[in-house]
Amino acid sequence: MNGSADFDLWYLIVLAGAVLIGAVLPVLPTGAAVSAGAVLASHSNPIGLVGVLIAGAGGAYLGDLIVYAACRAGGERLAKRIGWLRENASLDALRERLANHEITVLLTSRLIPGGRVPVLLAAGLAGYRWHRFAVVDLAASSLWAAVYMAIGLLGYALFDKPWQGVVAAIVLVLLTTVVSSLVQRLRKKKAAAAQLETE
């Protein structure tokens, strides 16, 4: 971002598009893109942070709606064909958690690495109501974008040069993802060990 309104607009359009594509086909590091956008906006045009938030949340929200609609329309077969669903995925447990704690599960699923797609699948395949999903996921997408913007702002606060802040933001995103994944694995191992003890 260099202060040019045209460049800022194009950057935000590209950011929203990248996040949308990454939400549908989870191969792009979309959180890192939002964090990097926050760093660049902070260095050149702090008001652009609002645009980064809207672009990140909007792309995430539209991507989630596409995945949810595809799950409702195509079901489990389509989810497996596209690669959204692994053979060993436990959708029944997710459906039960979603039924008991729907808002909490939907809000936090975007913040847990690898947690969003299984929850969207469970919601879509279980026929979760459209209007309720649309409202809760809007909040979840906004919360997700705000968290990754905060990570970017931390990178901005630590370094003077934009490229250093971007690198720091990407490293922070990767560290957050790795630590979260390790915590999830430990919880699963503890749960499995506890289940074996009770049997």
pLDDT in tens, 134-176: 988 999 999 989 988 888 887 776 666 655 666 665 666 566 6
Domain that holds residue 31: 5-84+141-198
Task: Compute the Cα dihedral for 168, 138, 60, 180 and give only its sign.
Answer: positive
Phi, psi of 123 (to 5 degrees): -65, -45
The answer to the question of residue 150 being in a domain is yes
Residue 15: partners with Cβ closer than 8 Å, 6 or more residues away: 33, 34, 37, 52, 55, 56, 59
What was the pLDDT predicted at 163?
A: 58
Lowest mean pLDDT among 5-9, 113-117, 174-178: 5-9
- Please indicate whether residue 195 or residue 149 has the higher confidence score (pLDDT): 149
The answer to the question of residue 131 being in a domain is no
The answer to the question of residue 62 being in a domain is yes
The answer to the question of residue 146 being in a domain is yes
Is the backbone of residue 83 left (phi > 0), alpha (psi -120 to 50) or beta? left
Number of structural domains in the chain? 1
pLDDT digits (tens, 9 = 90+) for 30-89: 888 888 888 888 777 767 888 899 999 999 999 999 988 887 877 667 666 665 555 545
